[in-house]
Amino acid sequence: MADLHIINHPLVQHKISLLRDKNTGTKEFRELVSELAMLIGYEATRDLPLKEIEIETPVAVAKTKVISGRKLAVVPVLRAGLGMVDGVTSLVPAAKIGHIGLFRDPDTHTSVQYYSKLPDDIAERDVIIVDPMVATGHSANSAIEVIKGKGVKNIKFMCIICSPEGINAVREKNPDVEIYAGVVDEGLNEDKYIVPGVGDAGDRIFGTK
Ligand code: URA
């Protein structure tokens, strides 16, 4: 099974509580998703390789470190994943951004791809896929499949809230993908919404309901 990193940082847990509140409005919800993406992204980038360089300070030459190695791409799963892009790119401004559009078939609850636009050089990049909610795990697995199909070797998946069944489905199908999440909730209801969750994250980010 893939590694699952739950980010127990107090700031993450506090912001998730604010996100859950049905009285949290669109502006605040969007800001919280972005902040959570930055905090979880901080952990997801913890193992970026460094190389030593020399920099002249006003006082002396410093042997110091900068990030080296393969470049990053961030891939949000449309539409809710868009809310997490700014948070991650504020940490890694040079990252390129791809998009994968998936919708959930209301009858079968499986995910259907309707859009994909990825950087040309994605196979040479490490990829962080972002989607705030992992419910059944179908869209996470579909997005990972699309990225793997482009020849990407190092993929991480970041979410804010997941269900136990969804995250296990991803971990079992993609044992090579490290997962970073804020919290694992109780489960899914009959409509495959995460309980207690936050409701429809896309609607709450974009104010469409
Ligand atoms: N997507 C959401 O936005 N919310 C859920 O609870 C499940 C999937």
Token pair listed for 81: 């994943």
Q: Are 127 and 73 in contact (CB under 8 A)?
A: yes
Q: Are 188 and 169 in contact (CB under 8 A)?
A: no
Distances (CA, A) of 109 to 92, 138, 148, 193: 34, 8, 22, 11
Question: Is there a catalytic annotation at residue 108?
Answer: yes
**Among 200, 203, 206, 208, which is best to mutate for testing ligand 1, by the most ligand atoms less than 8 A from CB?**
200
pLDDT in tens, the chain (209 residues): 879 999 999 999 999 999 999 999 999 999 999 999 999 999 999 999 999 999 999 999 999 999 997 799 999 999 999 999 999 999 999 999 999 999 877 777 788 999 999 999 999 999 999 999 999 999 999 999 999 999 999 999 999 999 999 999 999 999 999 999 999 999 999 999 999 999 999 999 999 98
Give nearest CA residue, ligand 1 atom 5. Answer: 193
Q: Residue 89: how many CB atoms within 10 A of its CB?
A: 18
Number of separate domains in the chain: 1
Question: Is there a catalytic annotation at residue 131?
Answer: no
Q: Residue 74's closest CA among 51, 55, 91? A: 91
Query: What range does the domain containing 196 cover?
Result: 4-206
Tell me if 137 CB under 6 Å of ligand 1: no
Beta pairing, strands 4-6 & 133-134:
unpaired
Q: pTM for the complete prediction?
A: 0.95
Token pair listed for 173: 């199908």
Domain CATH code at residue 64: 3.40.50.2020
Per the DSSP assignment, residues forming a β-bridge with 29 are none
Tell me if 100 CB under 6 Å of ligand 1: no
Tell me if 83 CB under 6 Å of ligand 1: no
| All residues at 6 or more sequence positions from 99 whose CB lies less than 8 Å from its CB, including other chains | 75, 76, 78, 115, 116, 117, 118
